[in-house]
Amino acid sequence: MNNTDENHSLEAGEITRFLSYVAILAASVALYFSAEHIPSSRFEVLGAAAFPRFVFAAIFLIAVIAIVDSLRKIPGHAWGRFGSEVQHWLKTRYLVIVCFVVFAAYLLLVPILGFSIASFAFVFGLQMILMPRKPLTLLVAVLVALVFSFGLNALFAEFFNVFLPRGEFLNG
Amino acid sequence: MDDFLTALVQIFAVSTLLYMLVGSVAGIIAAAIPGFTVTMAIVLTLPLTFTMEPLQGVAVMLSVYVGGLTGGLISAALLGIPGTPSSVATTFDAFPMARKGDPGRALSLGVWASFFGTLISTLFLVVAAPPLAVFAVKLGPWEYFSLIVFALTIVASLVGDSVIRGLLAGLIGLAISTVGADPILGRPRFDFGIEMLETGLPFLVVLIGIFAISQLLSEVENARTVRSGAKLVTDAIDFKTWKVMKEVLMSPVNLIRSSVVGVLIGALPGAGGSISNLVAYDQAKRASKTPEMFGTGTPDGVIASEAGNSATAGGGLIPLIGLGIPGSAVDAILMASLMVHGISVGPRLITDHGDLVYGMFIAMAVASFMMLIVSVLSMRLFLRVAEVPKWLIVPTVLTCCVVGSFALNNRVTDLYLLGIVGLVGYALRTLGYSLAPLVLGVILGPIAETNLRRALMTDSDPTQFLTRPISLIFLIAAVLSIGWAIRSHLKTNKMNGVKDANAS
């Protein structure tokens, strides 16, 4: 990556941070006003809504400072390149996206398939995505997936009395 | 004395020693894997301690902590990659030393320096924590609230590279802590009718999501490094164990100075091993008669860094035991582990649970001896650990995260929360928000709120926060810490600006 590319990437990063400050600011305003619905108390001065309101007011204040500081750092021409920089960032981070999607699917499947089956599929599947595929690594992947699914389930059930989800699939 | 003996019996029970041994090995192994931090190792240990006695659980976590502070040196010395952020300065001299053909000496130096660093910090802990607790018992809710404000501001301003984002992260943590029933009257807040939010966001799930999931996702950012396993030294290694021990003891000034730096930085909320190793290294270099040798493989550099980072363990426990304020994410997890067992951590911990506190002192010392024995006997085996490729680490540790999140409450909805928090954590990490203030905000939020409301229930005059001297001192210190951080930030920006101008 040359200096110009690096600068473009830094500018896009600052714009993303700016957007995060705006999102935090908006959330703090919304939650500050939603705290109005928290019932008050006759027994104390502050009540249950006061502390969250202090916190959201402080977030609002800091977010405003952050937005001003961030706007100062972003050159005007950087906004035009933002879309393409985001696309480039997403392309370079494709493995992160794939990993998270597989992980999210795993979390959703745990209550249906049960911990052991879902974990075996997840560990083996993700290893297949990430590893260099050779016969030896394939064997390692199967063994590791077995240990971290059925093995982990047995360990927790036998030694710690923690029963991981059995799953509707097995129960039904 | 009774408490001390009870603690001694509990720690020296065969089962506790065995668990601690496993913890020590696990800590060293975890930290030896580049990208696997000590915090992550302790987060994953926490669910395993739920079924143990409180002291047994804390002792195991301390042994993971002490082992982890040492394990980071393996990849730092042999690969030049710090296994954990607390071993960054170790790479400066241990790696060149290993490259010059003396990897065994580099590793032994680090192990011995870590051992003595932990022992010295335990000594400080034993001496400093009880008087601090005696002082803290006299603090009222006004002082406690101000102390938490100070702790959060100093964490937010010291960690990471932006004061603003540090403060925002701390405040987001406080905001997360307000979800669910309020801590005094139990009134529902911000649950939006969603059942999973009614009891609040479980601390452990937030912790695992924020630290572990986000870290693991960031480990797969670079597709090329995911598929490879780096090769370590293949030649025979001579550890020169006893010769190196003498070498470390022959540098008493460097050893003690670096350990004291570690203790002081560890005791300061927010500053942990990731800062102390660099400060201790810098101090050793300044005091050295041959500063030009630093960075070329000098033993003093390795001793300073490793003694400095290991001594933060004892230092960090001083405010936790004395005040009930965790100074770092690791201390927050230790606090959470006690809270899971229904033990409230605060200045009364020493009087109410003396055996537990003495047990923590003993456990620290035992853990440091265990780390030494395990390291000396099995270092050759641990060398292979740094070769474990990321394609194996990421899926397996993600599964452990799922187990850890589920084990606390046996609720499937916690798993969905884990996914959401993990994604938010990754976004925050990528955007340069420091995560430690956020986690401290989550754990300190209810304590801050309770003390604020208690203070105003006792006396509705809010100026009491400014008129009570100790409370005022903490608030002034909070303002100063932010001011100091902003000043250093501006100074760094100015220097960078001058450098850029010169470069162009």
- Residue A79 sits at the chain B interface (C-beta within 8 Å): no
Same domain, A86 and A103: no
Same domain, A86 and A133: no
Give CA separation, A99 vs A50, B127, B219, B257, in Å. 41, 48, 11, 45
| DSSP element (H, E) containing B134 | helix B103-137
The string of pLDDT tens digits covering residues B205-239 is 888 888 788 888 888 887 777 766 544 455 556 77
Same domain, A61 and A127: no
Q: How far apart are CA B95 and CA B107, in angstroms?
A: 10
Same domain, A87 and A101: no
Which residue in B352, B448, B473, B349 sits closest to B141, CA to CA?
Answer: B448
Which residue in B317, B321, B326, B329 sits closest to B84, CA to CA?
Answer: B329
Point out the residue among A17, A107, A162 whose CB comes nearest to the CB of B416: A107
The CA distance from B159 to the nearest CA of chain A, in Å, is: 17
pLDDT at B178: 93
Q: Which of A79-83, B113-117, B263-267 has the least mean pLDDT?
A: B263-267
| DSSP element (H, E) containing A64 | helix A50-73
The string of pLDDT tens digits covering residues B447-496 is 889 889 989 888 888 899 999 998 999 899 889 888 887 787 777 767 66
Residue A99, helix vs strand vs coil:
helix
- CB-CB under 8 Å, A156 with B227: no
Structural tokens at position B207: 């912790």
Alpha-carbon dihedral of residues B294, B299, B300, B303, nearest 10 degrees?
130
Q: How far apart are CA B396 and CA B402, in angstroms?
A: 10
Structural tokens at position B275: 């800062």
Q: What is the largest CA-CA distance in chain A?
A: 71
Is A166 exposed, middle or buried (CB count within 10 Å of its CB: 0-12, 13-18, 19+)? middle
Point out the residue among B171, B220, B415 whose CB comes nearest to the CB of A96: B220
Same domain, A144 and A69: no
The answer for B68, left when phi > 0, alpha when psi is -120 to 50, beta otherwise, is: alpha
- Across the A:B interface, residue pairs with CB atoms under 8 Å apart total 174
The average pLDDT across B284-307 equals: 88
Same domain, A165 and A98: yes
Q: How far apart are CA B62 and CA A74, in angstroms?
A: 45
Quick check: B414 and A111 in contact, CB under 8 A? no
- Residue B418 sits at the chain A interface (C-beta within 8 Å): yes
- Residue A144 sits at the chain B interface (C-beta within 8 Å): yes
Give CA separation, B503 vs A73, B498, B500, in Å. 20, 9, 5
Domain finish residue from A49, A64, A91: A91
Q: How far apart are CA B77 and CA A82, in angstroms?
A: 40
Same domain, A125 and A45: no
Structural tokens at position A7: 């600068």
Q: How far apart are CA B457 and CA B261, in angstroms?
A: 41
Kindly give, in sequence order, each residue whose CB lies less than 8 Å from that of residue B389, ignoring residues fewer than 6 positions away: A131, B226, B227, B228, B229
pLDDT at A163: 86
Domain finish residue from A62, A91, A120: A91
- CB atoms under 10 Å from CB of B326, counted, come to 25
User: A119 or B380: which carries more pLDDT confidence?
Assistant: A119
Partner A, chain B 133-192, Cβ-Cβ below 8 Å: 164-165, 167-168, 171-172, 174-175, 178, 182, 184-185, 187-190
How many Cα atoms are found within 13 Å in the side-chain-facing hemisphere of B383? 23
Q: How far apart are CA A146 and CA A152, in angstroms?
A: 9
The average pLDDT across B107-116 equals: 90
Same domain, A57 and A38: yes
pLDDT at B408: 73
Query: How many domains are contained in chain A?
Result: 2
Structural tokens at position B112: 């011995």
User: B87 or B258: which carries more pLDDT confidence?
Assistant: B258
Quick check: B68 and B27 in contact, CB under 8 A? yes
Give CA separation, A86 vs A11, A16, A80, in Å. 11, 9, 11
The string of pLDDT tens digits covering residues B411-425 is 889 999 999 999 999
- Residue B223 sits at the chain A interface (C-beta within 8 Å): yes
- CB-CB under 8 Å, B452 with A46: yes
- pLDDT of B502 > 50? The answer is no
Same domain, A72 and A116: no
- pLDDT of B69 > 70? The answer is yes
Share of chain B above pLDDT 90, in %: 19
| DSSP element (H, E) containing B162 | none
How many Cα atoms are found within 13 Å in the side-chain-facing hemisphere of A15? 19
Q: Which of B54-63, B65-74, B303-312 has the least mean pLDDT?
A: B65-74
Q: Round the average pLDDT of chain B to a whole number and report it.
A: 83
Residue whose pair of structure tokens reads 């406080």 in the numeric block? B174
pLDDT at B83: 61
User: A58 or B443: which carries more pLDDT confidence?
Assistant: A58
Cα angle B496, B497, B499; round to 5: 65
How far is C-alpha B395 from the chain's CA centre? 24
Q: How far apart are CA A144 and CA B54, in angstroms?
A: 32
Same domain, A105 and A163: yes
Domain finish residue from A30, A60, A91: A91
The string of pLDDT tens digits covering residues A34-92 is 988 888 777 777 788 899 999 999 999 999 999 999 999 898 888 888 889 899 989 98
Which residue in B262, B274, B270, B277 sits closest to B327, CA to CA?
Answer: B270
Q: Which ipTM value was assigned to this complex? A: 0.92
Same domain, A85 and A146: no
- CB-CB under 8 Å, A161 with B423: no
Q: Which of A51-55, B72-76, B228-232, B312-316 has the least mean pLDDT?
A: B228-232
- Residue A95 sits at the chain B interface (C-beta within 8 Å): yes
pLDDT at B158: 65
| Domain assignment of residue A104, given as a range | 94-171
Residue whose pair of structure tokens reads 């290993």 in the numeric block? B98
Same domain, A68 and A102: no
Residue whose pair of structure tokens reads 């999210």 in the numeric block? A104
